[in-house]
A and B are shown apart, each in its own frame.
Chain A
Amino acid sequence: MPEARRRSPLAPARSFQVVRAVFLTLLTGFVVLPVYVMITSSLKPLKDVAGAFHWIPSGLTVRPYADIWHTVPLAKYFVNSLIVAGSATAASVVIAVFAAYAVSRYHFRGKRLFTVTVLSTQMFPGILFLLPLFLIFVNVGNATGIALYGSRAGLILAYLTFSLPFSIWMLIGYFDSVPRDLDEAATVDGCGPLGALFRVVVPAAVPGIVAVAVYSFMTAWGEVLFASVMTNQQTRTLAVGLQGYSTQNDVYWNQIMAASLVVSVPVVAGFLLLQRYLVAGLTAGAVK
């Protein structure tokens, strides 16, 4: 067995194994704790989550899963989140593919300025852009009648503030790792530069593009700051909508937990399916 032979000189020391077991057990407990609370509480009747906490639910019910759709218009928020996060992701990936290709394959005046600007905007706090964007949207609305403030389009634009620089930066790193000879050969074979981009570079960089898309989508799906200032009743996303389960009299904790679980499952499942790409993308883009 080559596997066993290769590992034998590396077999970890006993003390290492003990520390590892203790550490990983504690860490697993820490990680799983909220997930356990989320799942069990979502199956409890309201009087059970209103009183003292119990590890084991006294009675199981799936009522919260039916109720969450009526207490707040969760389906509408879901659609809004899907549209906003999906569009922001698509827009930033498409724009970033062109920009990253230019930076990775061409020398031009202002290239350094461009990359430095993109890199530095990544560190800017969202709060810095919130107020000016809010005012731009309001003023554009007053001047032209185009409602950006409160609209999904406005929120999509706002989300580009964090997803676009990240996408450009990661894709530059990823495109750099695609051998230049490939697209040069394609150009010689009669492909235009765009042909080389779409027939050679993009297919070769699929893992990086998927990684960027997954990351952008997840960040947009979980964003709270812009969503809470720039949406209205109609365009509210899940991030804001989930606050609707607390009324003045009652906090429907079982429904909050059920709704949290429902909005988490698609992204967590998608992430775990695509995490290989994300790890590969992070290695190529961020680590190098």
Chain B
Amino acid sequence: MTSATAGRVRRTTARVRRTGRLRRTALPYLLLLPALLMELLIHLIPMVMGILMSFRQLTQFVIRHWSRAPWTGFDNYSLAVDVNAPVGADLLRSFLTTCQFTLLSVGLCWLIGTSAAVFMQDTFRGRGVLRALFLVPYALPVYAAVITWGFMFQRDNGLVNHVLHDQLGMSGEHTFWLLGDNSFWALLIVSVWKGWPFAFLIVMAALQNIPKELYEAAALDGAGTWQQIRRITLPSIGPVNQVLVLVLFLWTFNDFNTPFVLFGKSAPQAADLISIHIYQASFVTWNFGTGSAMSVLLLLFLLLVTALYLLVTSRGRSKADA
């Protein structure tokens, strides 16, 4: 090292040391500043407002001056949870429908996604094409995909009735799929069609991290394919599955786009998911205060479920580590 470079290095390190202290304290905050401002504007202020609004009687007449609307304490909440009155009974029904729908949809998405990922773990002819094809439902814009399903579920000119009734001859009458009880199943099919590729993507990524040697050793020990899947593949993706299931749960529970495009502003009772229900309370029947109270209750429920889930899964994991 020449003395000139040594001198430059010494000068640089001295400068780094001098300004280092200030940098260490102020710099991260400066870097965070845009994010903090945005978080404040798009998350924190709206959330505080939402909570404040849930304590007021807000209708379309006072909405533009919402802070002057009459303060009603917990009235909106008691209205929302009073299951003996129409509002509370409807909310409870919508909540239970959403729970049922979410459990089925997440279960099926997970099952189909995991199976597809496991089946496509090793190479075979056409694997690349299939993989790209399977990602199409995920890549299609929600409304384009859901509108197409809506077309397929049309009573008179849809594919579903054409196949079920005209081609397979199941019952003479054409069925309503987007009205009445069947709408639950129509929504579920669309939701699973759209949702499973995400599970497929995540599980596939997790499978890539399993060392090939494990399978080779198992095969040499005489374990068959199915045994390898049960003993190696499935246990290896356990931790990833925990995150995956939580994410799928939150997305499905909060999903607004799918039912809204399929049914419009008011879904049939059997498919009246909670997001649509709150939207309707707020923007169709103009009870913004009640709508806000329902939103806050939904948020509390989701926080509770997430906390419980994380508690249970992290306990399971630390037990496994021990």
Q: Which A residues fall within an 8 A CB radius of B?
A: 6-7, 9-10, 12-13, 15-16, 19-20, 23-24, 27-28, 30-35, 37-38, 41, 49-54, 94-96, 98-99, 101-103, 106, 108, 111, 114, 117-118, 120-133, 135-136, 138-139, 142, 157-158, 160-161, 164-165, 168, 187-188, 190, 193, 218, 221-225, 228-229, 238-239, 242, 253, 256-257, 260-261, 263-264, 267-268, 271-272, 275, 278-279, 282-283, 286-287
Given the complex, which residues of B lie within 8 Å of A38, measured CB to CB?
144, 148
Given the complex, which residues of A lie within 8 Å of B13, measured CB to CB?
188
In the complex, the answer to whether B39 meets A118 with C-beta atoms within 8 Å is yes
**Nearest Cβ distance between residue B284 and chain A, in whole angstroms?**
11
**Nearest Cβ distance between residue B113 and chain A, in whole angstroms?**
10
**Nearest Cβ distance between residue A146 and chain B, in whole angstroms?**
14
A95–B36 CA distance with the chains assembled, in angstroms: 9
Complex interface residues of chain B between 138 and 176 (CB less than 8 A to chain A): 138-145, 147-149, 151-152, 156-159, 161-162, 166
Range, interface on chain B: 35 or more
Per DSSP, chain B at the interface is helix
Given contacts A128-B298, A260-B147, whether A27 and B141 have CB atoms under 8 Å apart is: no
**Nearest Cβ distance between residue B229 and chain A, in whole angstroms?**
8
In the complex, the answer to whether B295 meets A30 with C-beta atoms within 8 Å is no
In the complex, the answer to whether A106 meets B24 with C-beta atoms within 8 Å is yes
Q: Could you list 21 A-B pairs, sorted by A, with CB under 8 Å?
A: A33-B152, A34-B145, A34-B148, A34-B149, A53-B157, A124-B254, A125-B254, A125-B299, A128-B296, A132-B50, A187-B16, A188-B12, A224-B256, A225-B256, A225-B279, A264-B139, A267-B140, A279-B204, A282-B201, A282-B205, A287-B243
Central interface residue in B46, B159, B302, by most chain A CB within 10 Å: B46
A221–B152 CA distance with the chains assembled, in angstroms: 23
- A-B contact sample (19 more), CB < 8 A, given A130-B279, A132-B45, A138-B63: A12-B122, A16-B226, A24-B116, A37-B148, A37-B159, A94-B34, A114-B36, A118-B39, A122-B250, A127-B256, A128-B46, A132-B49, A135-B66, A168-B35, A222-B141, A222-B144, A260-B144, A268-B140, A272-B135
Task: Count contacts between A and B, CB distance < 8 Å.
Answer: 288
Interface membership of chain B positions 271-295, coded 1 if the CB is closer than 8 angstroms to chain A and 0 otherwise = 0000100110011000010011001
A107–B75 CA distance with the chains assembled, in angstroms: 45
Tell whether B219 is near chain A: CB-to-CB under 8 Å.
yes
In the complex, the answer to whether B302 meets A123 with C-beta atoms within 8 Å is yes
Tell whether B202 is near chain A: CB-to-CB under 8 Å.
yes
In the complex, the answer to whether A218 meets B295 with C-beta atoms within 8 Å is no
Given contacts A126-B254, A164-B35, whether A225 and B157 have CB atoms under 8 Å apart is: no
A158–B42 CA distance with the chains assembled, in angstroms: 7
A172–B40 CA distance with the chains assembled, in angstroms: 20
Given the complex, which residues of B lie within 8 Å of A117, measured CB to CB?
39, 43
In the complex, the answer to whether A95 meets B35 with C-beta atoms within 8 Å is yes
**One of B43, B151, B166, B295 near A37 (C-beta < 8 A):** B151
Given the complex, which residues of B lie within 8 Å of A123, measured CB to CB?
250, 254, 302-303, 306
**Nearest Cβ distance between residue B71 and chain A, in whole angstroms?**
16
In the complex, the answer to whether A238 meets B132 with C-beta atoms within 8 Å is no
